[in-house]
Structure 1
Amino acid sequence: MSASGTLVEAIPPVPDLPEGKQAARSGRMARLWERNQTLIPTLAALVLLFGMLIYAEVAYGRVFHAGTMSSLLISFAPTIILAVGMTIVIVSGGIDLSVGAVVAFSSVAGVMLMNIGINGWASMLLMILFGALFGAVAGVMVQYFNVQPFIATLAMMFLARGLASILSTTPVQAPEDSPIHLLATDWKLYDGPKVNDLTVTPGLIIAVLVVLGGMFFLHRSRSGRTVYAIGGNEGSAGLMGLPVAKTRVGIYIISGALSGLAAVVYTAEVGGKAQNVTGIGWELDAIAAVVIGGTLLTGGYGYILGSVVGVFVIAAMRLIITKDGTINPEYLTIITGGVLLVFVLLQRVLTRRRAS
């Protein structure tokens, strides 16, 4: 026997992994890759956000200051509330175009109720209920009359905007002693030099609570899992015995109620003034924030925190335009559209890879 043959025989062969273990490892890797793919748009939005903020700090200064960040958060609290509701709707495979108009109607109706002597707290509760009513009508149309969500919520948008215009064509002002003004009270958390104070308002705290509540509902509750199932495959969700009809109507009620709540927060923020032109284009901002944050327009995938990141991306773009001073504010719409197009294309690429 040759020396080479003896050496080969002396080395034990490497044992093959059992087929079951190989399949399990491949399955884990596939699930890990799929999970990471869904996070890519959200991570891209985070990179874009920090890139814009760093650019603004270098170019204009005073961006990473407590005062600037406080103003940014407080002013975008209503948009955050709308984005939470829009995320839930889009994850289910729907859309809600009525949120901006519902904000206008709820705001005008609520302030007018306060002016005729209705208790301020009761008026604010009615503002939320008005929004929930619009959402309920849209949900019933979608679920029980097979109306496309786009058409159903578009009808609610025209209805709410028209009713707001009928109620008042001029701005209306809440009474000075109305409790709605309390929601805009500045609470100083940090007393910085000059005007660099870290402040929050009750309205901002409401927005934070809405985000936390939306995260629990969508990611931790049985109803939230049903929302994902409906967005992924409605037929399969029905065959599994999930309450598809009740959940879908509830989704639009939640979106409408949050629109009413956003009306309360915004009305407080602007000193109790309400007008029928409030909220024009807000539905597009909410949809853009949700898509930029990583939620698929086809439904089935999405994250509340991703939508919040999307809101901050839009806020950062507005901050740069405001600080620059030479950029036409109308360009914000063009820039937002361009960013939205990039993220939609990114979603399409990831969706095709996942399907293959």
Structure 2
Amino acid sequence: MLFLKKAQGTESIGVIQNKLKREKALTDTAFLLTITISLFIALYILSIIFLGDKGFSKIQMFFNLLNENAALIIIACGLSIVMITGSIDISVGGSTALICTSCIVCLNNYGFDFVTTLVLALAIGITFGAVQGFLIAYLEMQPFIVTLAGMFLGRGLVALIEVNQIQVINPGFEKLSGARILIPLLGDINKKGVFIQSKLEYGVIVALIIVFLMFLLLKKTKLGRSFYAVGGNSQSAMMLGINVKRTRFYAHLLCGLLAGIGGFIYLFHTRSGSVQQATGLEMDAIAASIIGGTLLTGGIGNIFGTLFGVLTSGIVLLIVTAIGSQDPWWPQITRAAMLCFFIVLQSVICSRKKK
């Protein structure tokens, strides 16, 4: 009886400690999310004040920010999930290029329509996610090496399919991709005094829906909580009965699925494909996830933070372009400075957690 009471007391203490750790992680997540949102709002307000004559005072500028980054939002959500589990995936740029080129060839030469092209894009993304997830989770290979090979594979297959840049010439797909959603009661008045209604691409709606669904997955489901547990401490997660290998596999599989959707939205927006397509997209997605508050070490992250991380990177690019600097390295330098700031901030949080 005494042993049983001690065991129950020990279990109660363990449960309390787990709750405290969970609350602390949530506090860290909320803190990082607050900084990211505040930074985006500050940058946007400053751009309106000082660069209003460059178009930042127009409502359509904000919608253009979403239009240009819809695919990146989706892909960054997938990166956030694998990073929450403590892994990484740098193959999404190569898989996006492969999706764009393959889909264009099938649209132009083999009579594919919108639905079959979407199925092809999802199949490519899921295949990348499943194969890489199996190698990483079950064969315990290094995620960076596996996904680096996936990136090279994607680019190599694009070169085999088509060396030159190609464009969509399918009339039905062009009509669908050129369609826009008119935003009621929102718009801008041009120089002639004519009211121009704001427009939004369909890809933005898909991106926002995915952000909401991934938020629910991470916060309201057992699988989402398992992602956090595995990223926080895989040994503790295993002791709690979580299948660590399967959880990591699901994370990469989900990342592959989102890469397939994001690649299709990327094609929907650009209507082009080449070997150089989506170059650096994987780094942009990782940077957006970090700026959004996802820790490189895993265990902490927020999908809404990832959304604002993408928007913050996007507004920086627009600001640098608007002030007249056409040099390509200035946006990269600015993003690097922001990235360093958030990495240092994450290091402070990690050191505080260890103490």
Structure 1 residues 312 and 90: alpha-carbon distance in aligned structure 2, compared to 1, 3 A threshold: same
- Residue 85 of structure 1 corresponds to 78
- Residue 119 of structure 1 corresponds to 113
> If the length of structure 1 is used for normalisation, what is the TM-score?
0.87
In 1, Cα distance between the equivalents of 2:119 and 2:172?
13
- Point out the more displaced range, 212-221 or 39-48: 39-48
Matched, 1:71 2:64: yes
- Residue 250 of structure 1 corresponds to 250
| Aligned 1:200-219 pairs, distance under 5 A | 200-219=200-219
Q: Is the 8 A contact 1:114 1:123 kept in 2?
A: yes
Q: Is the 8 A contact 1:100 1:279 kept in 2?
A: yes
In 2, Cα distance between the equivalents of 1:167 and 1:31?
48
Structure 1 residues 35 and 204: alpha-carbon distance in aligned structure 2, compared to 1, 3 A threshold: closer
Matched, 1:59 2:56: no
Instruction: Count how many residue pairs are aligned between Structure 1 and Structure 2.
Output: 331
Structure 1 residues 48 and 149: alpha-carbon distance in aligned structure 2, compared to 1, 3 A threshold: same
Q: Which amino acid aligns with 1:158?
A: F
| Aligned 1:202-351 pairs, distance under 5 A | 202-270=202-270, 272-326=271-325, 328-351=327-350
- Residue 8 of structure 1 corresponds to none
Q: Is the 8 A contact 2:101 2:161 kept in 1?
A: yes
How many Å apart are 1:151 and its aligned residue?
Answer: 0.8
| Cα distance per residue 1:167-204 (max 9 Å; x no partner) | 11112222332336414411111344227532212111
Q: Is the 8 A contact 1:120 1:180 kept in 2?
A: no
Q: Which amino acid aligns with 1:108?
A: T
| Cα distance per residue 1:143-164 (max 9 Å; x no partner) | 1221111111111011111111
How many Å apart are 1:26 and its aligned residue?
Answer: 12
How many Å apart are 1:64 and its aligned residue?
Answer: 4.0
Matched, 1:36 2:27: yes
Q: Secondary structure at the match of 2:171?
A: coil
**2:172 maps to which of 168, 178, 182:** 178
Q: Secondary structure at the match of 2:293?
A: coil
Q: Which amino acid aligns with 1:46?
A: I
How many Å apart are 1:243 and its aligned residue?
Answer: 2.8
| Cα distance per residue 1:24-66 (max 9 Å; x no partner) | x999999766643332222222222122112211221032422
| Cα distance per residue 1:80-118 (max 9 Å; x no partner) | 001110110000000010011110001101111112223
| Cα distance per residue 1:121-144 (max 9 Å; x no partner) | 112211111011011111011012
Q: Secondary structure at the match of 1:197?
A: strand
Structure 1 residues 196 and 64: alpha-carbon distance in aligned structure 2, compared to 1, 3 A threshold: farther
- Residue 354 of structure 1 corresponds to 353
In 2, Cα distance between the equivalents of 1:163 and 1:296?
32
**Could you say what the CA RMSD is over the residues aligned between the two structures, in angstroms?**
2.2
Structure 1 residues 112 and 243: alpha-carbon distance in aligned structure 2, compared to 1, 3 A threshold: same
Q: Which amino acid aligns with 2:48?
A: E
In 2, Cα distance between the equivalents of 1:245 and 1:27?
22
**Which runs of no fewer than 5 residues in structure 2 stay unpaired?**
1-15
> If the length of structure 2 is used for normalisation, what is the TM-score?
0.87
Q: Secondary structure at the match of 2:299?
A: coil
In 1, Cα distance between the equivalents of 2:77 and 2:260?
13
- Residue 144 of structure 2 corresponds to 150
| Cα distance per residue 1:270-320 (max 9 Å; x no partner) | 2x2222211111111111111111111100111000111111110110110
How many Å apart are 1:335 and its aligned residue?
Answer: 1.4
| Cα distance per residue 1:189-227 (max 9 Å; x no partner) | 134422753221211111111111111111111111111
Answer with 1 or 2: which has the greater Rg: 1
Q: Is the 8 A contact 2:107 2:170 kept in 1?
A: no
- Residue 105 of structure 1 corresponds to 98
Structure 1 residues 253 and 326: alpha-carbon distance in aligned structure 2, compared to 1, 3 A threshold: same
**Which runs of no fewer than 5 residues in structure 1 stay unpaired?**
1-24
In 1, Cα distance between the equivalents of 2:316 and 2:310?
10
- Point out the more displaced range, 148-157 or 189-198: 189-198
- Residue 193 of structure 1 corresponds to 189
In 2, Cα distance between the equivalents of 1:119 and 1:264?
13
How many Å apart are 1:250 and its aligned residue?
Answer: 1.7
**2:123 maps to which of 111, 119, 129:** 129
Percent identical: 31
